[in-house]
Each structure stands twice: as C-alpha cells, then as structure tokens.
Structure 1
Amino acid sequence: MLRLLVLLLVLANAGYWAWSQGLLAAYGLAPAVQTEPQRLGTQIQPEAIRLLPPDEVKKLDNGPSASADTPASECLQAGLFNDQQISSLRPRLEAALPPGSWQLESSTEPARWIVYMGKYTTEEALAKKRGELRQLGVAFRAVHNPALAPGLALASFPLQADADRELARIATKGVRTAKVVQERAETHGHTLKLAAVDAAQHARLDTLKPQLEGKALQPCS
C-alpha cells in the first residue's frame, strides 16, 4: 500500500512538470499564456520613450502649477481722496493708465470713536502706561489723530454708544483714567479703484505713488 502511494505521488509530480512545461499542449493541457504580444502592436513609437533627468522633472513640476496659481490680475483700491487731491491725481491717472482701467467712486469714511488714554507729556509716561495695560491684559494701539498724540486707543468704533459700552467693560478690568473721544469725523471723498491690475499696470502704478498722498493700494473690499 505504501509503495502504491509513493508511485502515485511520483506520477503526479511528473505529470505536473510536463503540464507546466507545455509538453501536454498537444492534448489541450497547458498553462495559460501570461504574455500579451498583441499589446506591442498598439504601442505608439515606444522607441521615443526616455527617462527625464531630475532637473527637467523639477521644471515640469514647478512651471505649469506656478503659472496656474499666479493670478493674471487683481482688483486694487486706495483712498479716501478729497476734491483737491482728486484734481491733482486725475490727470496723472489719465496719462499713465489706459482708459477704462480705473475709476473714482464717491465714498464715505465713517466716524471713529475710541476709548482713549492720553495725552502723555513724556515718552516715559507713555511707556509706563503701556506696561500697565499689558499687565491688565488690555489691548491698545497708537492714535492716528495728531491732536490726540501721543496717546493710546484701547478700542475703536463707528458709533459713540458702542465706545461708551466698551469703556464700561474695560473699567471692570481696572482701567480708571480712559475716556471716549472722537478720533476721526465722518469724511466724504473719492476712492480710486482699479478693477484688473496686471503686471504691466503694476509697474505704471509705481510711478503714481507720490500722487497717492501716502494712501496705500489695497485689495478691493
């Protein structure tokens, strides 16, 4: 019985080897062909395929994506300009920029009420007050109105009532000598708007900066 089992295993191994080598193909017994020679006929100029060096790969990666992410143009604005400033700025704009690329819009700058501390007579007094406010955890900034400088604005609002409420809130944190004042009155004027500034117009705008009265060009709101 054992000899018969060994003989069957030997015959089975011999049969598998003959099948795997394709020796039984004439009898319809053969493993499936894994190669696909028909695909060679569908290849388009396979001899043209080449490996790119790392520097060329980097150029391909950076080039198209960088240009796609860079905006072709942007909307910029500056202001507010009063009538006298506009009379000087308008001819400069007409000479430097294409017609239709800019416009002057009537605008209103709202009043600004601040919770104010000052005016301080010395830089030492101002520095001391800054240190005290930091210890209390109260934010502050320098005031922009020369009549109130040197001084500190602890908060800014377009309405006096909002500033009054903030003054009461800040008092609970230990601020005792602040008050509400108007830093800026409501102002009417004009805003310069450039809807689509490209690279060429950016260069032209650089020549106009002296005529912008120190008002920076900013993204349109």
Structure 2
Amino acid sequence: MSTRVKICGLKAEAHLDAAIEAGADLVGFVLFAKSPRNVSLQQAAALVARARERGDVQTVTLLVDPDDDLVDRVVATVKPDLLQLHGHETPERAEAIRKRSGLPVMKAVPVAKPAEVAAAFAYLEPGGGADLLLFDAKPPERPDALPGGNGLAFDWHILDGARRRTPFALAGGLTPENVAQAIDLTGAAIVDVSSGVESRPGEKDADLIRRFLRAAKAAKEA
C-alpha cells in the first residue's frame, strides 16, 4: 500500500483542486494567525466543503494551542474530519480537546533526538489525547519562529524505533526531490508537506503539488 499524502496549508481553491486531482489523501487548513498559510474559519469551512464535493479526501484543521472557544467554533463552523494540534499541548490538554471536539487528533511533536521520539508515545497512552503522531523538525530558536512549516528536515534515522511501534506521520523539509527517500528510510504511514510545495511562503504551486504526490505514491518502503 502506498504512503498516504497530506498537503497542508492550502488557501486557494485552485491548489486544493490540484491536490485532490493528483491523489492527495488528506488536505490541511491552518488556523494560526502568525502563519502565512492562515485562513479564517469561514475560508476553512468553504474549503472543507469543496474538498468533500470534489473527492474522497480527509480534511484536517491545524490548530496551535487552541482554547475551548476556538475548538468549539472549528467543530461547529469548519466541520473537519480531523484536528491537528501543532502547539505545546500536553497529553492532558490533547485528551481534553479530543473529548470536547469528538474528533480524531493528530499530535505534532518536534523532535531532534531518539529520546524525544520515545517520549512522544505518551500521547498514544490511554488519556494521551492522540490517535496519530506526526513527527516534525524542531522550529528555529527565535521568538518569531513558527511551530511548523519552516522547511526544515531532521535526521530521519531517529525514527527507527518508532516504525516498529506504530504507524506515524512525517513532516519537516519534505520536497518532491526527497520524499521517496524519506518514505524508504522511515516507513512513514503519512507524509505531510507544506512549504515544500510552495513558490514562496504561503503560496502553493500546483506543479510542485503534483510532483510531490507522484514521487510519494511511487515510493516503496524499504
């Protein structure tokens, strides 16, 4: 079975359509004001509705340390299939969000060392709040750094232990040129790309989206 592909940070209908037509399995919409990929609740709702009309694809809303009010508004207005938590949510907070929303949760965890990968499995314990882990590169150490979408990769070898424990998603510096290698090396069940299919921050490129999907779907896990 080929690896599933998530195209994240979509803002325009044309790029959403390109992703779906090229075979994306998941499409993601960012609700985080500091991101160049940020969309409003109303924009996200319209894109989710369009995605459902155009194909069999899972819709994902990316949130960063959301409060209960935002969670409630996302559920009521956007109606995604899945929530992606990309902030500093603890397992306890992730569990509270999962219960409140009634939606599956993908928890993004920035990693640079094997010990950080091992620690992430606390989110998959009973009450840990996550249905799936997304391993991502750590953001740059500067005050204005975004929690994700920075185009940074990490040493994929640190995931060797994870692949024997559970299916997981992989993000961080993925591009059409390296995604096949990433899949071969890590065995990721899902690859998640945002900046790697952009012409500039926040601006998707339909050709890069198509190239990424071709490369990912053609890859074979080692």
Q: Do Structure 1 and Structure 2 share a fold, with TM-score over 0.5? A: no
The higher-RCO structure (CA 8 Å, 6+ apart) is 1
Q: Which entry has the higher C-alpha Rg, 1 or 2?
A: 1
More helix by share: 1
What TM-score, normalized to structure 1? 0.19
